[in-house]
Structure 1
Amino acid sequence: MSGKSISNRKDEFKRQPSSFREIISVDHPVYKPAKGRYWLYVALSCPWAQRTLITRALKGLAPVIGCSVVHWHLDDKGWRFLQAPNGETNERHWFNIAGGIISATASSSTPVAGVDNNAHRLLIDGTNEPHYGYKRLSELYIRAESNYNGRVTVPILWDLKTCTIVNNESSDIIRIMNSSAFDEFVSEQHHQIDLVPLHLEAQIAKFNSWVYDGINNGVYKVGFAKSAEVYESEVTTLFQNLDRLENHLEEKYTKLEAEYGKNNKNKILARFFAIGDTLTEADVRLYPTIIRFDLVYHQHFKCNLGTIRDDYPYIYTWLRSIYWCYGPFQHTTDFNHIKLGYTRSQPRINLLGITPLGPKPDIQPL
């Protein structure tokens, strides 16, 4: 850790480990691949959940693994589902081909000042829970383990056959989805997508390690710091890691620019990724944090030594390329869920629950 030494360790943010860590495979004695057997529970505001949604879409698993979305407002009782009128559900929503979740256009067109924390717009503010009629995500945890007293978090990968949680660790879930376990249920083109190719596995692991600690989790260490001393140390470390990422991407872009010429943007961007020359897990894990940075982490978590759009041109070029060129990233990004979810759900940080309108646009054109 860089910056000043920290004497009061209780003021630091410590992320608790996930509780359910099973896998799905043809060799597993219980959790075997099947179409329609598994269900994903997510929050669109949550970066950890979004990485599972992106992978689900990239691997063509929207028709194989269903999905429900909790309301964006996390109240004092935890995550909640909406109630559908007369118990009705909408299969179109869960099994759409694009792999998107809620219509970002419909959600983002409403000024946030006019959206109440108890807004009940089905398929905009969230979805119902279609299998058991549960009102709260916590009910799933209790069903899985009757005496459960741990954290109630998203994402959850649920088994409808045994009525339990298979896994609630996002990094595990994306590996399960990326494996060949569900290949028989998807098209050949989705078989070809491998987010962790063998020849890049070591590079991806190294990249993920420092990005997770320094950026993905780094923003939370800043935002939830309980003393000025811890905050100043953590925010300094966060931006040192963003500098490291910027230098990494600048080096990649410069090499591609030398190969194709400065004006051949399309060819450059076609190979401009975090690791290697194709989309990998490194991009999937990095994206949810970076897309949220200027919108909420900069002001809400006080990560305000700079913005991505103004101070990190290569990171922002990478971000815009990923967002605009790859549907699964864009379709699973709901800017209103992100803004409202953070600013309305954490009164210790934002007591009045006022949601900033800016920056605008949410993301600039490529």
Structure 2
Amino acid sequence: MADPSSLISGGDNVHLTTHPDHMEVVQNAPSWKASMTPSGEYVRAQSAFRHFVTAEGSSGFVAEPGRYHLYVSLACPWAHRTLIVRKLKGLEDIISVNVVDWLLQEVWSFNGQRDGCTPDTVNSCATLRDVYHLAQPGYSGRVTVPVLWDKKEKTIVNNESSEIIRMLNVEFNAFCQTDEQRNLDLYPVELRAEIDAINEWIYRDINNGVYKCGFARSQEAYDNAVINLFAALDKVEVILSEHRYLLGSQLTEADIRLFTTLVRFDMVYVTHFKCNRKRIADYKNLWGFVRDIYQTAGIGETVNMEHIVNHYYQSHRTINPFGIVPLGPVLDFNAVHERGKEQNV
């Protein structure tokens, strides 16, 4: 069986990289071990499909209701981004979704018998690898989630999560259900420089930082990653003591990108990835922020903790050889947070 601790997901537009627990190992694909530095640090690879859907169709892919489909894992923080933006923009009836099995062995597979998972309702494929081969026969690269699929052209449009959420943010506005959803802009022009800047170091040290800790192959690489991770968390704690959201009083994509890591942190990363210097629950503002986002506009409905916990602990057998799943911690994401009131925003 392939080593699932090498598996990677659709990455990030800042570094154009992917991540080591949400990719299947593909025959003849570049080995994840080849991406380890001599000091034991994991480095990333680039997403393969980078086309865009646009409202007017200038890209060759025009935004239309019912044309596009998402393949996701509910365990994956990068795929989770796309589900949140789809939810916030009211696009559930416009863009369909299939969910792969949370148990990743040699391949991402479809399993309609497991709770919360689905068969492939678009292409009737058994595995996500088969979907990639439909888009590009003979494809031998990394097979990642999320995937944005074009039902009309029968191909993958994009498998880069940071780009998919920006398409969902604006290009499908004509099909949003309400004016509030249509007017919601998670990447407003006036904040783009600030969003890009904060995304860069949060991605490097937090989103990707937990993976650098968990998949380190030397004490030096692990120590450096942990130090950088918690320095960044401390920095965010200060920012959130002054503002409700990362950029002030307005929810942006930066908040969504941070949230999908933080909501997994205490449940998985503290123990499984050895990120145990502090829990998110030990930070007043970070923990309040997580609950605030969780309780926003149905976002909590996109969080499937059963998939998250089972995937990490049962798929990463080099880290957790016996696949034992912890029974804790018990966290109440619906507890009162008082965010906004405390920051006077």
- Find the aligned partners of 1:294 and 1:49 in 2 and give their Cα distance: 19
- Find the aligned partners of 1:22 and 1:276 in 2 and give their Cα distance: 32
The corresponding residue for 1:130 is: 121
Within a 5 Å distance, the mapping from 1:337-356 to structure 2 comes to 337-356=307-326
The CA deviation at 1:9 is: 3.3
- Find the aligned partners of 1:175 and 1:157 in 2 and give their Cα distance: 12
The corresponding residue for 2:272 is: 300
Give deviations 1:79-126, integer Å, cap 9, x for gaps. 11114xxxxxxxxxxxxxxxxxxxxxxxxxxxxxxxxxxxx33xx240
Aligned to 2:333, the other structure's residue is in SS state coil
The corresponding residue for 1:183 is: 173
Aligned to 2:102, the other structure's residue is in SS state coil
Corresponding position: 1:158 with 2:129: no
Which of structures 1 and 2 has the bigger CA Rg?
1
Check conservation: 1:200, 1:276, Cα contact below 8 A.
Answer: no
Within a 5 Å distance, the mapping from 1:1-366 to structure 2 comes to 9=38, 11-25=40-54, 26-76=56-106, 78-83=107-112, 120-121=113-114, 124-179=115-170, 181-186=171-176, 187-252=178-243, 272-310=244-282, 312-324=283-295, 326-361=296-331, 363=333, 365-366=335-336
Structure 2 unaligned spans of 5+: 1-35, 337-345
The CA deviation at 1:10 is: 5.4
Give deviations 1:308-350, integer Å, cap 9, x for gaps. 102x1111111111112x1332010011111001001110111
Check conservation: 2:101, 2:109, Cα contact below 8 A.
Answer: yes
- Find the aligned partners of 2:276 and 2:233 in 1 and give their Cα distance: 12
Aligned to 2:272, the other structure's residue is in SS state coil
The corresponding residue for 2:10 is: none
Amino acid at match of 2:323: G
The corresponding residue for 2:339 is: none
Q: Work out which structure has the larger RCO, using CA pairs closer than 8 Å and 6 or more positions apart in sequence.
A: 1
Structure 1 unaligned spans of 5+: 1-6, 84-119, 253-271
- Find the aligned partners of 2:81 and 2:59 in 1 and give their Cα distance: 27
Check conservation: 2:39, 2:220, Cα contact below 8 A.
Answer: no
Aligned to 2:172, the other structure's residue is in SS state helix
Runs of 4+ in structure 1 over 3 Å off = 7-10
More helix by share: 1
| Aligned residues between the structures | 299
- Find the aligned partners of 1:295 and 1:332 in 2 and give their Cα distance: 16
- Find the aligned partners of 1:290 and 1:29 in 2 and give their Cα distance: 34
Amino acid at match of 1:211: I
The CA deviation at 1:228 is: 1.4
Check conservation: 2:68, 2:150, Cα contact below 8 A.
Answer: yes
The CA deviation at 1:28 is: 2.4
Compared CA separation, residues 337 and 247, structure 1 to 2 (3 A): same
The CA deviation at 1:8 is: 5.6
Identity of matched residues, %:
44
Give deviations 1:164-197, integer Å, cap 9, x for gaps. 1000000000000112x22222232221100011
Amino acid at match of 1:247: V
- Find the aligned partners of 1:220 and 1:286 in 2 and give their Cα distance: 14
In the superposition, the TM-score normalised over structure 2's length comes to 0.84
The CA deviation at 1:283 is: 0.9
Compared CA separation, residues 360 and 27, structure 1 to 2 (3 A): same
- Find the aligned partners of 1:251 and 1:131 in 2 and give their Cα distance: 46
Aligned to 1:327, the other structure's residue is in SS state coil
Check conservation: 1:344, 1:354, Cα contact below 8 A.
Answer: yes
Check conservation: 2:39, 2:218, Cα contact below 8 A.
Answer: no
The CA deviation at 1:221 is: 0.6
The CA deviation at 1:364 is: 6.0
The CA deviation at 1:132 is: 2.1
- Find the aligned partners of 1:29 and 1:274 in 2 and give their Cα distance: 32
Compared CA separation, residues 276 and 35, structure 1 to 2 (3 A): same
- Give the stretch that moved more between structures: 36-45 or 198-207: 198-207
- Find the aligned partners of 2:59 and 2:82 in 1 and give their Cα distance: 24
